[in-house]
Chains A and B, each alone.
Chain A
Amino acid sequence: MRNDGRPIPTLEVSAAQQQIHLHTFFILQEVTATSRHYVDRLFDPDPQNVLQGVIDMKNAVIGNNKQKANLIVLGAVPRLLYLLQQSSSSLELRTECAVVLGSLAMGTENNIKSLVDCHIIPALLQGLLCSDLIFIEACLRCLRTVFISPVTPVQLLYTDPTVIPHLMSLLSRSRHTKEYITQIFAHCCKTPEHQTVLFNHSAIQNIAPLLISPSDKVRMQALKCFSVLAYENTQVSMTLVNVLVDGEQLSQVFVRMMQRDKPIEMQLTAAKCLTYMCRAGAIRTDDNCIILKTLPCLVRMCSKERLLEERVEGAETLAYLMEPDVELQRIASFTDHLVSMLADYFKYPSSVSAITDIKRLDHDLKHAHELRQAAFKLYASLGSNDEDIRKKITETENMMDRIVSGLSESSIKVRLAAVRCLHSLSRSVQQLRTSFHDHAVWKPLMKLLQNAPDEVLVMASSTLCNLLLEFSPSKEPILDSGVIELLCSLTQSDSPALRVNGIWALMNMAFQADQKVKVEIVRALGTEQLFRLLSDPDTNVLMKTLGLLRNLLSTRPHIDQIMSSHGKQIMQAVTLILEGEHSIEVKEQTLCILANIADGNTAKELIMTNDDMLQKIKYYMGHSNVKLQLAATFCISNLIWNEEDGSQERQDKLKDMGFVDILHKLTQASDPNLCDRAKTAMQQYLA
């Protein structure tokens, strides 16, 4: 075919056709031979020949992945890097080497891996110290291509602390340095540490002017930098609001970038920047640039006209934006039919795509999970506060079925998002009573709880708490499904959130429950675990455990029964908490438990015979906090209640201990509740 040794320009051979298979074989052989020739020329003693060799190599590899792979296998990379680093090499040769390396990097991920393994990054970074702009641009272009690949560890950018400041100093040298460096930053800023490093090296001041660059690419990359810098970063966000670009506030620059005639990627990224600034508290949620610009822009990103990737990002960003703000949720709920627009996210792959177009089916399948989880997230965010919106969501076509099947999907991301959505909707009393029960959502939820990673468990158990509320019709079937053991095991988790949810669910379950259920809870949990929870470092856990105790100790027969078997330990625990350093709320809850105990028939005696405890009650009746006074008075009131056996003796004993004087004083209290309570108690003596 060719024997002049000139490179074969391209080699795009489709192996699908058998006919040309043989042909291909010959070409391949020839390619390997010519490839070797290229590499050999890199070792020529005459520098001029080397240069020509590199230039020929450059022309040969453009757009030719196989040629690239061949050259890498034949060891061209170390030689090119050597030539690039040699100060004896001419600037032209060094530049051409960087260009060829950049071209090799444009190939497959394997190419990138090979290049990174050959330590291309430090070599190119070193090259940036050269003074020649053309050479610097060639190095940056190659670095950019390497760094934006998912196989390159971004940390390599931060290993040498002098690199970032040097890149900052190169930033404004030319249109290309601007584009490549911002693109590198945008891809390599993945953690709060990265954000801080870039921030500390004045990334904001250096990149902000690029937002009005005449080059579309530079503007786009600069914008991306701000979105990754501002993400969950208060320091960056707070700085951004005060930045002026050509006399204009940065937020206004972003607003202009969201105009509908701008490229979609630009609109979406600008909306992300404003979203992150808003969530960091740098922009108020009622600011026009959020309410009238960012929110509608993100809703548009969810529309059917957008690409699947854009719809996913749009929905996730919108969910994040409005999560904490009910007004934004309300506006979004009626903007552009968002709620029903999201229903379309569940229709991939569509039945049409499966038949007509394999490529499309593949594309749809790849994005189907992402779409579903994004939709669930957005529904969760939309419905987190407003009852009307929750109703609107559950009335969307097949919504509950979709959640139910989402709960058992293979993708963890979808399961998590589905349970988040369910949790958000479970805050609605009406939905708990109706759709939740109709669709038996508790079943997949229980299944999910059996075996799931912690983040799913937290959401699922939190949802379960709501399903176990007294008025929830799902409460009964859940009880029958052996949930108590499961919840008790959650209380032993290392995660405070799981412990809270476990004990919270038990507390809800114990509210006005049958004796049988209560006994079962106490048995399954075990007093030992109960007392461990009472000394839990997490206040929430402690509060819910006290709540559980209080619910267990309701109605007289239950109080007496539980106190007869566990009275000693409970009294000990109560003493411990009242003596410990705890918040008012905790002490109040504890005093309420004591008041419940005082309501029992036999349980009363556990207090009456415990002078130390009585002294504590007396102390809290004189406490400066009204809530504690009230709870303590309630307790005494129960002890001296007339209609019960032995009330006379108790009244006498407490009178001797000086309680009557205290009660008398409390009848003069300024708080009307406390005053009433004290008067009621005093009446017991008069009767």
Chain B
Amino acid sequence: MSGPSSGCGFLMSVVVHGDLALNEQEKDLNQRLRRLYPAVNEEETPLPRSWSPKDKFSYIGLSQNNLRVHYKGHGKTPKDAASVRATHPIPAACGVYYFEVKIISKGRDGYVKYMGIGLSAQGVNMNRLPGWDKHSYGYHGDDGHSFCSSGTGQPYGPTFTTGDVIGCCVNLINNTCFYTKNGHSLGIAFTDLPPNLYPTVGLQTPGEVVDANFGQHPFVFDIEDYMREWRTKIQAQIDRFPIGEREGEWQAMIQKMVASYLVHHSYCATAEVFAKSTDQAVHEELASIKNRQKIQKLVLSGRMGEAIETTQQLYPSLLELNPDLLFMLKVRQFIEMVNGTDSEVRCLGGRSPKSQDSYPGSPRLFNSPVHKASSSQTYQTGFDSNYCNGVSSSKGHTLAHSHKSCPRTMPSPELGVLNGSRGQQTNVGAEVEMEVDHFSNGVSESSSNGFLNGSSTHGIDLEECDGDMEVDSAQSKRQLCGGSQAAIERMIQFGRELQSMSEHLRRERGKNSANKKMLKDAFSLLAYSDPWISPVGYQLDSIRREPVCSTLNSAILETHNLPKQPPLALAVGQAAQCLSLMARTGSGSCAFASVDDYLH
């Protein structure tokens, strides 16, 4: 999923010291780190970016943005050893973590070149070389031995000296570590590593200088290739997750999820065909689905007045019982008035309402409210328990061939969006049939196809929508309420009504800060000569109709005892939550199991 509406919790942009002007190296670093460790949420677990000036022994000197380490002690005995740790421990969500150290100088002649590169936990004595103590691990240059929490080393790799680049890779999936020398992997050095280790380097010889690369520069070793291998491994593990005898159950469950998703978003023709070919019942009357579809389309095309009216007609008690919802709809209506898209001001503006919807899209697949809601709500586990509202399954049969007449009875953009996943609107009927075949074939295919359609549809939506907006604004020169004086007056009057409604609400139900802010933001539009380019102009974007649409749809469904979230969206939200939980509990494999990978 892409676009500004995606609110997945773990694709955060990095906040860097409040300084907007990043220098080139920092930009490179951020880019590289984001590419290497996309699953890391740096707000929770920042990545190591340099050595810590606070977490080092006094014989260590730092320079060059805390990336260069030099030794300034006597270097006579092991008592003169000194180490420094990186600023942060390695986050488990890296999956695979890697850094490199270049030996700039092996130190003064006449000394044994003690030098250790490795890992250590918080609090391990810094007056030591990495590897000598508990929870400390190192590879030493003088003898090429590895030190695993012990004063005695094991033969491990070649020795290293000036000019060599030593890399250290931590695999947080199987908790092992290997080193590299000048781009060549030396094989596993440590197993059963504890969590939260810090990159660490230790020196013991006067004149020793080493530079760290935490991602500031391209690495000598091809770490991305290694990551590719592990990504493939993890994904194969997911793909081959054993379901044993329960294969039929899985298929049925996934088909139900797809069907309920289609019904939820009122893709009624597709839902019919899908239900028929997978031999399921549709748990809502077709008329009801069509009603919701109608309302959604009105909301998404900005015709809020009509949307509210229609809702009141079809679901008389709904808005009465949900004054907050009504208020939200009205605020949106006000915004659409400013926009010049609401039907009331449209008539006044002399522009006849378009015969077709100006908004070509339909509900988005997983828009932000879905995600936000799913992360803060208790999950509905069994989605078929309180699901059926008594519509008999024979209903599906009476409309068995409805998909053939679809192009006639249904507004064409609907089907185009659904089936023309790559913008091909030709031969809609054939496409449906082909995919139906796929659905009946197998579990995995049906689900991936479903996603494919949905997600690419989404992409097209955005583009078309942007295009539409520009055309609109060019026509009307983006004038307030479409430029009509009568419309402006109507808008102002409506604003007053809204204001009094807000006051009424507050009296009745007490303060509601969300409502207050909503109204304030909406009224702020009038403070600018060109609301569209104003700081609050984002409200005018047609994308903003989606949360409104989705909330209304959910409310309608709730009154019918249907889940307000489609189980598919719930499952996706749950999976995303599960991954962030894994990151917090130190399961590195979450790095290579992004939910997004399965939505494309």
Contact = CB atoms under 8 A, between A and B. Distances in A.
Interface of A: 259-261, 292, 296, 331, 334-337, 341
A116 B187 CA distance: 50
Contacts of A331: 184
B391 interface: no
Contacts of B187: 335-337, 341
Interface string B138-151: 00000000000000
A334 B186 contact: yes
B228 A335 contact: no
B596 to A, nearest CB: 18
B184 A334 contact: yes
Nearest to A288: B183
A627 B184 CA distance: 47
B222 A261 contact: no
Contact of B228 (A260, A292, A336, A337): A260
Contacts of A335: 184-187
A483 B183 CA distance: 49
Given A334-B157, A334-B158, A292 B229 contact: no
A336 B229 contact: no
Given A259-B225, A260-B229, A261-B232, A292 B183 contact: yes
Contacts of A337: 186-188
Interface string B202-229: 0000000000000000000010011011
B148 to A, nearest CB: 15
Contacts of B232: 260-261
B403 interface: no
B106 interface: no
A261 B157 contact: no
Interface in B167-195: 181, 183-188
A199 B222 CA distance: 35
Contacts of B181: 334
A292 B222 contact: yes
B32 interface: no
B223 to A, nearest CB: 11
Interface string B417-435: 0000000000000000000
A336 B176 CA distance: 14
A292 B184 CA distance: 7
27 contacts: A259-B228, A260-B225, A260-B226, A260-B228, A260-B229, A261-B228, A261-B229, A261-B231, A261-B232, A292-B183, A292-B184, A296-B184, A331-B184, A334-B157, A334-B158, A334-B181, A334-B184, A334-B186, A335-B184, A335-B186, A335-B187, A336-B185, A336-B187, A337-B186, A337-B187, A337-B188, A341-B187
A292 B183 CA distance: 7
B226 A296 contact: no
- Interface size class for chain B? 10 to 19
Give 10 closest A-B pairs by Cβ, nearest first: A260-B229, A337-B187, A261-B228, A336-B187, A261-B232, A334-B158, A260-B228, A260-B225, A335-B184, A336-B185
A334 B139 CA distance: 14
A23 B226 CA distance: 56
A336 B226 CA distance: 13
B522 to A, nearest CB: 50
Given A260-B229, A261-B229, A336 B183 contact: no
A193 B448 CA distance: 50
A256 to B, nearest CB: 10
B254 to A, nearest CB: 26
Interface of B: 157-158, 181, 183-188, 222, 225-226, 228-229, 231-232
Q: Which one of A260, A292, A331 has the greatest number of beta carbons of chain B within 10 Å? A: A260
Given A259-B225, A261-B229, A334-B181, 18 more contacts: A259-B228, A260-B225, A260-B228, A261-B232, A292-B183, A292-B222, A296-B184, A296-B185, A334-B157, A334-B184, A334-B186, A335-B185, A335-B186, A335-B187, A336-B186, A337-B186, A337-B187, A341-B187
Contacts of B184: 292, 296, 331, 334-335
Contacts of B225: 259-260
A260 B592 CA distance: 15
A321 to B, nearest CB: 15
B221 to A, nearest CB: 9
B233 to A, nearest CB: 9
A336 B184 CA distance: 8
Contacts of A259: 225, 228
B593 to A, nearest CB: 15
Contacts of B158: 334
A207 B157 CA distance: 42
Contacts of B228: 259-261
Nearest to A331: B184
Contacts of B222: 292
A111 B590 CA distance: 51
A289 to B, nearest CB: 12
Nearest to B232: A261
Nearest to B226: A260
Nearest to B185: A336
Q: Which one of A259, A261, A292, A341 has the greatest number of beta carbons of chain B within 10 Å? A: A261
A341 B184 CA distance: 16
A252 to B, nearest CB: 14
A68 to B, nearest CB: 29
A102 B222 CA distance: 45
A336 B181 CA distance: 11
A260 B225 CA distance: 6
B533 to A, nearest CB: 44
Nearest to B156: A337
B377 to A, nearest CB: 37
Nearest to A341: B187
Contacts of A296: 184-185
A352 B200 CA distance: 41
Nearest to B189: A337
A336 B157 CA distance: 9
A479 B30 CA distance: 72
A540 B22 CA distance: 71
Contacts of A292: 183-184, 222
Nearest to B181: A334
A393 to B, nearest CB: 14
A41 B184 CA distance: 66
A331 B184 CA distance: 8
Nearest to A336: B187
Nearest to B157: A334
A334 B179 CA distance: 11
A260 B231 CA distance: 10
Nearest to B144: A334
Contacts of B157: 334
Contacts of A260: 225-226, 228-229, 232
A289 B188 CA distance: 24
Nearest to A295: B184
A620 B181 CA distance: 56
A337 B232 CA distance: 24
Nearest to A334: B158
Contacts of A334: 157-158, 181, 184, 186
B518 to A, nearest CB: 48
Contacts of A261: 228-229, 231-232
B141 to A, nearest CB: 14
A336 B158 CA distance: 12
Contacts of B183: 292
A331 B188 CA distance: 16
Contacts of A336: 185-187
Q: Which one of A334, A336, A341 has the greatest number of beta carbons of chain B within 10 Å? A: A334
A337 B155 CA distance: 11
B191 to A, nearest CB: 13
Q: Which one of B187, B188, B231 has the greatest number of beta carbons of chain A within 10 Å? A: B187
A331 B183 CA distance: 10
A225 to B, nearest CB: 25
A640 to B, nearest CB: 55
A260 B226 CA distance: 7
Nearest to A292: B183
B222 to A, nearest CB: 7
